């Protein structure tokens, strides 16, 4: 029973570590998307990026960020 309990505890710890790593990666990507949004906006305002393209790209990035 003790061995089985230790194995289960180890499995849960591994699963928790994977979840924490996924969370960290997701938070990092959300921060990256915030920077991308800022650059998209600046490029749109400066005329480097058309309104149509800005809307398309920002929509795609917003969808990714929500997911």
> Is the pLDDT at 4 greater than 90, yes or no?
no
For residue 7, give its domain range: 2-66
Per the structure, the count of domains in the chain is 1
**What mean pLDDT is predicted for residues 43-64?**
95
Per-residue pLDDT of 7-24, as tens digits, reads: 888 899 999 999 999 999
DSSP per residue, 19-52: HHHHHHHHHHHHHHHHHHHHHHHHHHHHTSS-HH
Judge whether 65 and 30 are in contact, CB under 8 Å: yes
| Residue 46 to residue 2: CA distance in whole angstroms | 66
Judge whether 13 and 23 are in contact, CB under 8 Å: no
């Amino acid at each position: 029973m003790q061995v089985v309990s230790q194995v289960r505890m180890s499995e849960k710890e591994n699963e928790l570590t994977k979840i924490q790593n996924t969370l960290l990666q997701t938070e990092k990507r959300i921060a990256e998307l915030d920077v991308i949004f800022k650059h998209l906006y600046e490029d749109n305002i400066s005329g480097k990026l058309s309104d149509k393209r800005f809307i398309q790209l920002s929509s795609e990035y917003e969808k990714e960020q929500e997911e």
